[in-house]
C-alpha cells in the first residue's frame, strides 16, 4: 500500500519554489534544498510506481530529445521519465547544417516547442559549446513564451554537457544515499574520483566534474586523482573547493590512485580526456583541421598508454575502507579482458559490484522525472498527494 506522506513531509520542509518554470543546467546552480527536493521527488515517484499508482501528470504533450552524441542509457532514461509523466518522446534528429548558426537555434527551438513540456539535450563533445547551446535554446523558448508564441514554456533538462552531467551524478548520489541509509550518514565519508585507463580516448569530462561538483556538498571528503596532464576544468575544481568548505567536508587532489583509494568509502574510477587536449580538439574542429585532429588523437592515445597501471584492481580495492568501498561507474565500463585487454577495472571487481551498479543506473529515469516534475508542477506536495488519491493504476489487471 502506498503512503506518499513520508516524502511529502520531507518536501514540505524544503524551499524549492524557484525550480517551478525553471531549468536544470548544473547541480551547483541549485541550492541544497533544491537538490534535496529532486532526490525526494525521485524517491516519491518511484514509490508510487512500485505501488502501481500512475504518476502521469500530462494527458498529452511532447518530451523532445536531442542527442548530439551516442546514447543508450540516457536515451532510455529520458524516454522512461517522459512516459512516466505522460509525455510522448519526439526525437530531434538534426540535419547536417540545419542548426549551424545562432539564427536557427532560436527558430528551431520555437518550431519544435509548440506542444513541448520538456526538452532534453546531450551536447558534450566540445568544450565551451554544449552548455552554451542549452542556454541558447532556453533563451529562445523563454522569449517565445513571453511573446505569446508558445502556450507553455518547456523546461530544459541537461542530459550531459561539456561541464556537468547532472542526471548521471544525481543518480549516482541518490544510489549512495540509499546504500548508506540516508544523507545523514555521509559526513566524513571518503570519495575517490579517480582517472582510470581506457584504450579509447576523448571521453567527456562532465562525469568527473559533475561528481566533484556534487559530492562535495554532503560533508564528504572528496579526492580527485589523475595522472599529470589530465586536469579537469579549473572552474569546477573551485566549485568543489567552495562546496567542501561550506559543508565541513574537503576536496583534495592527488596524482596517485593508491592514495585516493586508501580508506575510501566510495570509489569512482573512470577514464576521461585531459581538459587542455579537449580545448585543443574543439579549436581544431572549429577550424576543420583534420590532420591536426588525427595528430592530436595519436598523441593522446600515446599519453594514455603510459598510464595503464591506473586500473581498479582487486589489490587496490583491498586498500579501501574494510576492503569494501562502494564501487561506482556511469557505465559502460572498460573491463579488463572483457571489453578490452587493459581497462578501467578488473573483471572480478566489476562482477562483484554488478548488481549495485545496475541499481545505480536505475535511479536516472526517476532523477530526470523529478527534474521535470519540479519544473512543471506548481505545488509538488499537493500534486503528489493528489496522484496517490487519484489511484489510477499504472498496470490495470
- Which residues 291-320 are close enough to bind its own copies by CB under 8 A? none
Interface with its own copies in residues 371-390 (CB under 8 A): 376-379, 382-383, 386-387, 390
Task: Give the Cα separation of 70 and 160 in Å (integer).
Answer: 11
Residue spans of beta strands (DSSP E) within 109-238:
116-122, 155-158, 190-195, 221-225
In whole angstroms, the minimum distance from the beta carbon of 95 to its own copies comes to 6
Nearest to 62 by CA among 27, 111, 21: 111
Which are the contacts of 106, defined by CB distance < 8 A and separation ≥ 6?
136, 139, 140, 143
Cβ 226 vs Cβ 214: under 8 Å? no
Closest CA to 269 of 317, 214, 209, 312: 312
| Site for its own copies contains 181 (CB under 8 A) | no
Tell which positions 266-295 bind its own copies, by CB under 8 A.
Answer: none
Q: Residues 6 or more apart from 178 whose CB is under 8 A from it?
A: 359
Least distance between its own copies and beta carbon 37 (Å): 16
Query: Cell numbers at residue 195, please?
Result: 582517472
**Position 62 contacts its own copies (CB under 8 A):** yes
Q: 67: which DSSP letter? A: E
Per-position x/- string for 126-165, each x denoting binding to its own copies as judged by CB under 8 A, each - no binding: ------------------x--xxxxxx-------------
The CB-of-335 to its own copies minimum distance in angstroms stands at 7
* Residue 386 C-beta: closest distance to its own copies, Å: 7
Q: Is 223 or 383 the residue whose CB approaches its own copies more closely? A: 383
CB of 370 to its own copies, least distance (A): 14
**Of 111 and 295, CB closest to its own copies:** 111
- Chain-centre distance of CA 149, in angstroms? 31
Binding residue for its own copies, selected from 11, 26, 44, 84, defined by CB under 8 A: 84
Joined grid coordinates for residue 263: 580508506
Nearest-angstrom CA–CA distance, 52 and 50: 5
**Residues in 184-203 that interact with its own copies by CB under 8 A:** none
Residue nearer to its own copies on the CB measure, 244 or 381: 381
C-alpha cell recorded at residue 18? 524557484
Nearest distance from C-beta of residue 220 to its own copies, angstroms = 25
Residue 115 interacts with its own copies (CB under 8 A): yes or no: yes
- Give 296 or 375: the residue with its C-beta nearer to its own copies: 375
Count of residues binding its own copies (CB under 8 A)?
Answer: 73
The three cell numbers of residue 40 are: 525526494
- Give the position of cell 494527458: 59
Q: How far is the CB of 5 from its own copies (least distance, A)?
A: 19
Q: Output the nine-digit C-alpha cell for 51.
A: 505501488
By CB under 8 A, tell whether 341 contacts its own copies: no
Amino acid at each position: 500500500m502506498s503512503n506518499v506522506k513520508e516524502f511529502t513531509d520531507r518536501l514540505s520542509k524544503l524551499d524549492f519554489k524557484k525550480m517551478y518554470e525553471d531549468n536544470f543546467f548544473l547541480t551547483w546552480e541549485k541550492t541544497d534544498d533544491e537538490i534535496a527536493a529532486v532526490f525526494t521527488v525521485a524517491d516519491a515517484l518511484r514509490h508510487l510506481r512500485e505501488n502501481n499508482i500512475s504518476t502521469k501528470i500530462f494527458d498529452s504533450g511532447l518530451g523532445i530529445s536531442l542527442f548530439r552524441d551516442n546514447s543508450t542509457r540516457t536515451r532510455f532514461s529520458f524516454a522512461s521519465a517522459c512516459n512516466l509523466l505522460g509525455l510522448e518522446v519526439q526525437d530531434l534528429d538534426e540535419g547536417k547544417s540545419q542548426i549551424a548558426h545562432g539564427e536557427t537555434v532560436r527558430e528551431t527551438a520555437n518550431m519544435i516547442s509548440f506542444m513541448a513540456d520538456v526538452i532534453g539535450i546531450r551536447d558534450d563533445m566540445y568544450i565551451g559549446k554544449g552548455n552554451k547551446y542549452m542556454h541558447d535554446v532556453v533563451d529562445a523558448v523563454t522569449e517565445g513564451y513571453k511573446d505569446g508564441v508558445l502556450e507553455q514554456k518547456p523546461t530544459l533538462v541537461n542530459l550531459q554537457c561539456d561541464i556537468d552531467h547532472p542526471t548521471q551524478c544525481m543518480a549516482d548520489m541518490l544510489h549512495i544515499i540509499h546504500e548508506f541509509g540516508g544523507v545523514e550518514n555521509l559526513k566524513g565519508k571518503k570519495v575517490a574520483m579517480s582517472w582510470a585507463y581506457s584504450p579509447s580516448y576523448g571521453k567527456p569530462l562532465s562525469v568527473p566534474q559533475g561528481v566533484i561538483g556534487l559530492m562535495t556538498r554532503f560533508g564528504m571528503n572528496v579526492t580527485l586523482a589523475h595522472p599529470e596532464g589530465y586536469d579537469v576544468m579549473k572552474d569546477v575544481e573551485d566549485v568543489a573547493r567552495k562546496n567542501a568548505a561550506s559543508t565541513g567536508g574537503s576536496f583534495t587532489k592527488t596524482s596517485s590512485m593508491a592514495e585516493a583509494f586508501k580508506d575510501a568509502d566510495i570509489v569512482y574510477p573512470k577514464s576521461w580526456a585531459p581538459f587542455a587536449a579537449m580545448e585543443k580538439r574543439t579549436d581544431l574542429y572549429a577550424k576543420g583541421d583534420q590532420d591536426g585532429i588525427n595528430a592530436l588523437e595519436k598523441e593522446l592515445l600515446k599519453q594514455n598508454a603510459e598510464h595503464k597501471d591506473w586500473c581498479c584492481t582487486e589489490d587496490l580495492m583491498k586498500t579501501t575502507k574494510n576492503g569494501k568501498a562502494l564501487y561506482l561507474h556511469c557505465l559502460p565500463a572498460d573491463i579488463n579482458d572483457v571489453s578490452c585487454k587493459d581497462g578501467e577495472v578488473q573483471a572480478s571487481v566489476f562482477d562483484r559490484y554488478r548488481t549495485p551498479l545496475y541499481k545505480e543506473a536505475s535511479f536516472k529515469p526517476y532523477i530526470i522525472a523529478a527534474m521535470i516534475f519540479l519544473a512543471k508542477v506548481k505545488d509538488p506536495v499537493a500534486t503528489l498527494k493528489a496522484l496517490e488519491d487519484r489511484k489510477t493504476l499504472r498496470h490495470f489487471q
